A and B are shown apart, each in its own frame.
Chain A
Amino acid sequence: AQTVTQSQPEMSVQEAETVTLSCTYDTSENNYYLFWYKQPPSRQMILVIRQEAYKQQNATENRFSVNFQKAAKSFSLKISDSQLGDTAMYFCAFDPEAGGGSEKLVFGKGTKLTVNP
């Protein structure tokens, strides 16, 4: 079965510092998409960043970047210069059937990140 594991249920970081959230996944597919979603206390799920498995270059989006290690099936999220507004649940997800048309997402259990002033 395809699974996503987020081993850190909760994390905290001081404002302006850097934090890394870990995610590992299990799949036998070679081509897939990986995502990090953010869910603030207001509960709207927001896409943070995405990565295509066939791309070796790590995706970046302003203060957010990923460390994608395909062989290790690891997809960590680094948040630089953390801001109070980054406080949220962060979910790692992947689409195991890239190009298959189903677009089903498998989610991890989430990491609750708190940014302290």
Chain B
Amino acid sequence: SAVISQKPSRDICQRGTSLTIQCQVDSQVTMMFWYRQQPGQSLTLIATANQGSEATYESGFVIDKFPISRPNLTFSTLTVSNMSPEDSSIYLCSVGGATETQYFGPGTRLLVL
């Protein structure tokens, strides 16, 4: 399975600011995904990061709030814009592997004050 790293691992941010989370994979992958895990909750898919084109967002998530970049097959970023306390969550990236299995990064724990 791929080795996935995320930066930062955690952050505390002020309301109204933005944070960019990086996801790096040690091998080229076609599919990359961004999830949100609110406190004590399950994972919700935010979007699929497509290389060379715009991300595909799930219902309830919009590009203005969660812009995503995918400049190549090993890297993606998720920005959480104009943050509010409701954005406090763990944000995880994942990559699609063989046999449609997804592998997850360690996550970024975000607290918005």
Contact = CB atoms under 8 A, between A and B. Distances in A.
B100 A95 contact: yes
Given A43-B107, A44-B106, A45-B92, A50 B41 contact: no
Contact of A103 (B31, B41, B43, B104): B31
Contact of A43 (B42, B94, B96, B109): B109
A35 B31 CA distance: 18
Interface stretch (A13-21, A80-88, A104-112): A104-112
Interface of A: 33, 35, 37, 42-47, 50, 52, 91, 95, 98-99, 102-105, 107-110
A57 to B, nearest CB: 15
Contact of B43 (A33, A99, A102, A107): A107
A95 B33 CA distance: 14
A105 B107 contact: no
Interface of B: 1, 31, 33, 41-45, 48, 90, 92, 94, 96, 99-104, 106-107, 109
B48 to A, nearest CB: 7
Contacts of A47: 1, 101-103
Contact of B90 (A43, A46, A95): A43
Nearest to B96: A103
A109 B99 contact: no
Nearest to A52: B99
Nearest to B92: A45
Given A43-B107, A43-B109, A45-B92, A105 B42 contact: no
Nearest to A110: B42
B99 A104 contact: no
